[in-house]
Structure 1
Amino acid sequence: MGVPKRRSSKQRGRQRRAANVKLEAPALVSCPQCRAMIMPHHMCPECGYYKARKVVEMK
């Protein structure tokens, strides 16, 4: 079995972990009713529709 010859530094381990951490913009889709940008599988805050059904009455 392979054994490390030298101790790996803190920086090297942190760099390896940081490769998977990044900020991403949220995925947005347009509401089929009012064309506002919303998150998928969420009710539209503009018109109150979800999957072509009125869920909340908006003013």
Structure 2
Amino acid sequence: MAHPKRKISKTRRDKRRTHDNLATKALSVDATTGEIHVRHKAHVYEGNLYYKGQLVVEDYK
């Protein structure tokens, strides 16, 4: 099994890990219902399914 020739410093290790953080999800408010939801996703409000402010499916379960 291969072994590293030299120890990788903490600085180099941390530089590599700078992009491993999680980004917060973008939220928006629906204009018709006032519901807060994740952008570009359909959401349920009072049993109905909405997408982009329009009713898609009634009595969604």
Alignment partner, residue 55 of structure 1: 56
Alignment partner, residue 36 of structure 2: 37
**Structure with higher strand content:** 2
What's the Cα RMSD here? 2.3
Structure 1 unaligned blocks of 5 or more:
1-6
Instruction: Give the number of equivalent residue pairs.
Output: 53
- TM-score under structure 2 length normalisation: 0.61
Residues 16 and 40 of structure 1: is their aligned pair in 2 closer, same or farther, counting only changes over 3 Å? same
Q: Deviations over 1:1-58 (max 9, x none)?
A: xxxxxx4616444211111111222110011221111111111222412123211113
Task: Report the identity percentage.
Answer: 25
- TM-score under structure 1 length normalisation: 0.62
- Runs of 4+ aligned structure 1 residues displaced above 6 Å come to none
